[in-house]
Amino acid sequence: MSAFGLVVLFSLLGAAPPTPSSGLRSAQWRSVVTVVGTDPDKPLEEAEIWLSGSRMRIEEGRKGTPKTIVLKTGTEVYVWVEGQSSGTRMNLGLAAKSGRPPHDYARRIEEIRSRGKRIGAEKVDGYSCDVFEFGSLPPEKGTYWLATELQGFPVKAIVERSMPLPYRSEANRTQKLEYHNTRVRIPGSVSEVRFALPTGVEFQDLTDLFLNKGRPPR
């Protein structure tokens, strides 16, 4: 199991988050995510992402290292590492509490525009962007740079999230993530093959792991 998968195991079970409002029908892009205040040369995540309706495929990993694949089907999330024979399956509520950066902002563009507050305009990577603040509490609270030439796709975003502290009684800590999105294609060239589960990989339900079910006998 990947390090991110272990973080998920320490998260608390909770209700699934509300379904994001509809946005782009399809898109693909590259995202580099850093924690604000840390070394930008050491990103939290580098990923290639494909979006089709409510489904999303995220391929994490740097060149020369095995990729971690995250597949969101709309109701469940599957995680596995290329070349390994086991992976994990979880519902959206549990996945939202993991240490993995969420990319659901791409499906909330209409909501950000309609419910957010426009605070200005800037250029990012040559794109003219409307800058919006949206949300008052994590994980929705953030600032989004919506590129007008890309149907409002966020080429940059700074989003706050609440991180649970396993086995500790103090309140969750807040962390700011900065997303830098490039190579954006709308509509995306998204093949159905990308949303198929791999053959030969056995997926363990993380709910069973929390309840000590489904573990092989020692």
Instruction: Give the CATH number of the domain where residue 65 resides.
Output: 2.50.20.30
Alpha helices in the chain (DSSP H): 3-9, 92-95, 109-115, 206-210
CB neighbour burial string for 172-191, b if at least 16 within 10 angstroms, e if fewer: eeebbbbbbbeebebebebe
The reported pLDDT for the residue numbered 113 is 95
* Residue 215, in any domain of the structure: no
The reported pLDDT for the residue numbered 70 is 94
How many residues can be counted in the chain? 218
* Residue 216, in any domain of the structure: no
Are 81 and 202 spatial neighbours (Cβ–Cβ below 8 Å)?
Answer: no
Domain that holds residue 15: 3-210
Cα-based distances in Å from 117 to 67, 135, 149: 37, 9, 20
The reported pLDDT for the residue numbered 10 is 35
* pTM of the predicted model as reported, rounded to 2 decimal places: 0.79
Picking from 19, 58, 33, the residue whose alpha carbon sits closest to that of residue 175 is 33
* Residue 103, in any domain of the structure: yes
3-state secondary structure of 125: coil
Encoded tokens for 89: 């399956």
* Residue 19, in any domain of the structure: yes
Burial class (CB in 10 A: 0-12, 13-18, 19+), 164: middle
- Digit-by-digit pLDDT tens for the chain (218 residues) are 443 443 333 333 333 344 444 457 899 999 999 999 999 889 999 999 999 988 999 999 877 788 999 999 888 999 999 989 999 998 876 666 666 788 989 989 999 999 999 999 999 999 999 999 999 887 779 999 999 999 999 999 999 987 665 555 555 678 899 999 999 999 887 888 899 999 999 999 986 665 555 454 44
- Please give the tally of structural domains in the chain: 1
Are 61 and 69 spatial neighbours (Cβ–Cβ below 8 Å)?
Answer: no
The reported pLDDT for the residue numbered 82 is 92
